[in-house]
Every structure is written in structure tokens, then in C-alpha cells.
């Protein structure tokens, strides 16, 4: 076993099927003018690759990186460190995100790109945790809603770990410790 036995929330096949449905919705809703796809990296890369594959038209995927800092009050400030200068003027932008949590990242990116002259800035997200929302955001194309749990896999990480898991799983520190203990015992 390569990974700890975390609880699987969404197996890879289900993610694939849902992404196909979302791609169809995106195609119908955005025709005849294909949107400019902008993936929020790193996490949204696998989701963006799927949508790129399924939305007709071989659209390129642009990338934006945003970092959020927990402020002195709890109003986290979001800084765009990559892709702030993407040529969005006059374009219909579609942000591709792995998970919308407080909503701060997506809200900041929408504000930024609309201020830069994008004609619209819609959102497709694989996951959403509505109970955690601090800033209201509209997710135009949503894969799945989840409860307030920390999830990993399919691009989502914990300090760089578990991004490459094919399924979306629920993080459990005890399961991880057990896995690490077994790995150490096997090596000894
Ligand atoms: P927001 O700005 O609070 O909506 O945060 C969005 C970002 O937080 C996502 O793009 C993820 O990088 C990260 N994030 C939020 N919840 C999770 C989670 O459950 N697992 C992994 N990353 C998460």
C-alpha cells in the first residue's frame, strides 16, 4: 500500500464522470464564444486538465497562483503571485479551482480580473465547502459539495503531500500516523 488508507470521498472514476458533465454544461453555457480557462495552481491542475480534455475546442489553460495570508484580524489577504497580468481584457474568463473554502481566493481573483477588463469571470470548482464560506461567491459549475472536512488528492495537498492520490480522500492524522509507523516497522 503506497498511501495511508484514508476514507475515499470521491473515487477517480466518479471525478472523471462529473468532469465530463461539467464540461458539457460549460460548453452549452459559454457557446458560441469559448471562455479563457484560468486554473488556480497548484491544486486545480488535474481538474483543469480534465476540463480541457472534455470541453470541445482544445482551449489552452492559463495559470494563476494565489497565496492567502491570515491577517492580524481573521480577514485573510490574498496575493496573486503568478498570472496577475494575464491578457483578460474583453475576454470571458472561467476560473478553474480545486476547492472553494472561505471563498476569499476566488473572490479576490474575480475582483482582480474584472478590474483588468474581463467581460465576465465565472467559476468552475471541483469541490465546495459551503459551511466554511466567509465571502459569498457564486460557483457557476460545481462538481460536488462537501461538509467541513479537510480533503486531499486529485491535486489537493497537505504541505505538498498526497497531491498525486487519484481519488479525493478525507485527511485523518491517526490513519497517517498508523501508516508511518507500519512503514518504519517494515524498514527495521
Ligand atoms: P479559500 O480562499 O479559503 O476559498 O481557499 C481556497 C484554497 O484553500 C484552495 O484552493 C485550497 O488550496 C485550499 N483548501 C481549502 N480547503 C482545503 C482542503 O480541504 N484540502 C486541501 N486544500 C484546501
**Are the CB atoms for 168 and 156 separated by under 8 Å?**
yes
Shortest-distance Cα residue to atom 21 of ligand 1: 156
Shortest-distance Cα residue to atom 19 of ligand 1: 150
**How close is the Cα of 80 to the center of ligand 1, in Å?**
15
For the residues 126-135, what does the mean pLDDT come to?
97
- Residues 20-54 pLDDT 10s: 999 999 999 999 999 999 999 999 999 999 999 99
Q: Active-site positions?
A: 101
Q: The pTM is what?
A: 0.94
**Domains of the chain, first to last:** 7-187 (3.40.50.2020)
All 3 cell numbers of residue 142?
460545481
Position 76 scores a pLDDT of 76
Among candidates 100, 85, 76, which has minimal Cα distance to 156? Answer: 100
Shortest-distance Cα residue to atom 5 of ligand 1: 101
At residue 38, φ and ψ (nearest 5 deg) are -130, 110
For the residues 96-100, what does the mean pLDDT come to?
97
**How close is the Cα of 76 to the center of ligand 1, in Å?**
13
pLDDT of 109 strictly over 70: yes
Q: Which residues line ligand 1 (CB under 6 A)?
A: 40, 43, 68, 97-105, 150-151, 156
**How close is the Cα of 101 to the center of ligand 1, in Å?**
5
Angle, in degrees to the nearest 10, between helices 45-54 and 12-30: 60
Ordered DSSP codes for 75-120: --EEEEEESTT---TT-EEEEEEEEESSSHHHHHHHHHHHHTT-SE
pLDDT band at 72 (very low <50, low <70, confident <90, very high): very low
Amino acid at each position: 500500500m503506497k498511501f495511508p488508507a484514508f476514507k475515499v470521498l470521491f473515487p477517480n472514476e466518479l471525478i472523471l464522470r462529473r468532469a465530463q458533465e461539467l464540461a458539457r454544461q460549460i460548453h452549452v453555457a459559454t457557446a458560441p464564444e469559448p471562455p479563457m480557462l484560468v486554473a488556480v495552481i497548484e491544486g486545480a491542475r488535474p481538474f483543469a486538465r480534465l476540463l480541457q480534455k472534455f470541453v470541445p475546442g482544445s482551449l489552452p489553460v492559463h495559470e494563476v497562483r494565489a497565496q492567502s495570508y491570515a491577517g492580524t484580524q481573521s480577514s485573510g489577504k490574498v496575493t496573486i503571485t503568478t498570472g496577475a497580468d494575464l491578457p483578460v481584457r474583453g475576454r470571458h474568463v472561467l476560473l478553474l479551482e480545486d476547492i472553494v473554502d472561505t471563498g476569499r481566493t476566488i473572490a479576490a481573483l474575480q475582483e482582480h480580473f474584472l478590474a483588468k477588463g474581463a467581460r465576465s469571470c465565472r467559476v468552475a470548482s471541483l469541490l465546495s465547502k459551503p459551511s466554511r464560506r466567509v465571502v459569498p461567491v457564486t460557483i457557476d459549475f460545481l462538481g460536488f459539495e462537501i461538509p467541513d472536512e479537510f480533503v486531499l488528492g486529485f491535486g489537493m495537498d497537505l504541505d505538498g503531500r498526497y497531491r498525486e492520490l487519484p481519488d479525493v480522500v478525507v485527511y485523518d492524522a491517526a490513519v497517517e500516523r498508523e501508516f508511518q509507523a507500519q512503514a518504519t516497522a517494515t524498514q527495521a
